[in-house]
A and B are shown apart, each in its own frame.
Chain A
Amino acid sequence: MSTLSVKVWRGTESGHYQEFEVPRLESQTVLDVVTYIQRSLDPTLSYRFACRVGMCGSCAMTVNGKARWTCRTHVSKVAENDCIEIAPLHNLPVVKDLVTDMQPFFDKWAQAQGRFQGNKTRKDDFERVQPESRERTLVDAGIECIGCGVCYSSCDVVAWNPDYLGPAALNRAWTLVNDVRDTGNKTRLAAVAGDAGCHACHTHMSCTERCPKQLSPTAGIAGLKRAVLTAALKGEL
């Protein structure tokens, strides 16, 4: 049986790579490799996962230098000469080994007013939103985010400016800006504008390139720039 040489980050912000030999299997994912190491070679290895089918967004790690969802990443796609290097996500504090503290990431969703704000009660009728309407089409383009943090980890601007809200939070805000039921856009546009918001984006598009759900936060951020400009010109910002 052939083997895979795996270097895994051990420690916190400071640490080292530890090398393991893992049996190479057909259709093996990177998450399978990490799970094998923890269950068969070193039970002290810490990592995070839940659904294993690309829905929960908890298993993202840096694989050979690029952030990926490990449960849906086949070893055959990323291994170079039967070697892979696995590290925690960039741009987030490391708790231990492959586990990052996601709090700064989700705090920024809250800062970007990523919470739906409606004005209807359960006694009101349903809002009728046409699936083919312009607004709903724009929402559809960004709504499937699973909050994995791959875009945040891949973003240069997050690395340069720790206050930057990041692609996922801005993408979430953009879906709400286009939600015709939402009533919180005035404060939301102010929250996502400026040096720590959509205007800090350099359009490098790493988020769009690496998003495992093939979303385009870059397009959403460009939409926010237009929406903020309109609001600013109307004196509503």
Chain B
Amino acid sequence: MNVRAQALLWVAQRYSAMVLALCVIVHLITMIYAVRNGLSAAEILGRTRGNTAWAGFYALFVAAVAIHAPIGLRNIISETLGWRGRSLDIAVLVIGLLLVLWGLRAVWAVFG
């Protein structure tokens, strides 16, 4: 991976962190609201099913996680285990794609 790509990964991680900070706050407020008002699973699904705003929000959340986590994991692995190079890049890319897959599956489960 060339230095330009490495620099852009750093930028992507910083911007995805900003999105994540916002998403986590909204998610926590939503969870606290749901628990304190005693909403049942059916009532929650009633609000999320067919709601494109919530689906869009959680799709954004998933995208931010899928960008942020693999880049951070790449740094942690290279610094703690000394694993570097193309094989590590492919491994974290696979992890990123799995996060997209699992995340969007969860979003679809409460939307569809």
Contacts and interface: CB of A to CB of B under 8 A. Distances in A.
Interface string A178-214: 0000000000001001110101100000000000000
Given A199-B10, A232-B8, A160 B79 contact: yes
Nearest to B6: A194
B79 A193 contact: no
Contacts of B40: none
Contact of B4 (A195, A225, A237): A237
A197 B3 CA distance: 9
B3 A194 contact: yes
Q: Which of A157, A190, A194 has the most CB of B within 10 A?
A: A194
Interface in A87-104: none
A176 to B, nearest CB: 18
Interface string B82-95: 00100000000000
A225 B10 contact: yes
For chain A, what secondary structure do more than half of its interface residues adopt (helix, strand, loop), or is it mixed? helix
A157 B6 contact: no
Contacts of A197: 3
B7 interface: yes
Contacts of B6: 193-195, 199
Chain B interface mostly: helix
Contacts of A199: 6-7, 9-10
A161 B8 contact: no
A199 B3 CA distance: 10
Contacts of A157: 79
A161 B7 contact: no
23 contacts: A157-B79, A160-B80, A161-B78, A193-B3, A193-B4, A193-B6, A194-B3, A194-B6, A194-B7, A195-B6, A197-B3, A199-B6, A199-B7, A199-B9, A199-B10, A200-B75, A225-B10, A228-B7, A229-B11, A232-B7, A232-B8, A237-B3, A237-B7
Given A190-B4, A193-B6, A237-B7, 18 more contacts: A157-B79, A161-B78, A161-B79, A190-B3, A193-B3, A193-B4, A193-B7, A194-B3, A194-B6, A194-B7, A195-B84, A197-B3, A199-B6, A199-B7, A199-B10, A232-B4, A232-B8, A237-B3
